[in-house]
Amino acid sequence: MDQALIDAFRATDYLVCLDEVAWASIRIDQPLPAPLQALVGTRSWGFITACNPRSEACSPADNLTAQRDLLAALRAWPQAVIYPAIGVGASGWSEPSLFVIGPDLATLDALGQRYQQNAYVHGHGVEIARLRLLRS
């Protein structure tokens, strides 16, 4: 993964849908916004997608199928709390995502690898959001 792609991940606005009108924005290397801190408490969390494996554009149909599969995998994890989300890049790139509370780093890594993602965003409790690189 080249530096330009890493920079693009770092410049992305990771938006979590809290309800019909309210969104919270996660930024890498920044603390979680207060509404998300209240939801997360002391648990681990991740912002992950199954769309566009290897950061290569896929068809909307393929992305939808993969995203539904990811959602089903997360729902099978009994402690997971899942919110719809979207990553919006500075260049206008966007992709549906999920904000999930509960799964540990090993679980998130396995899901990221399963869906061939280059990276995802994660944290624990109210610590800062971190970029987790899965491919070099």
Domain extent at residue 54: 3-133
Residue 81 near residue 18, CB atoms below 8 Å: no
Task: State the pLDDT at residue 26.
Answer: 98
Q: Which residue has the tokens 């209240």?
A: 38
Q: What is the pTM of this model?
A: 0.95
Neighbours of 99 (CB within 10 A): 25
Task: State the pLDDT at residue 135.
Answer: 85
Whether the pLDDT of residue 136 is over 80: the answer is no
pLDDT in tens, 79-96: 899 999 999 999 888 999
pLDDT in tens, 22-74: 999 999 999 999 999 999 999 999 999 999 999 999 999 999 999 999 999 99
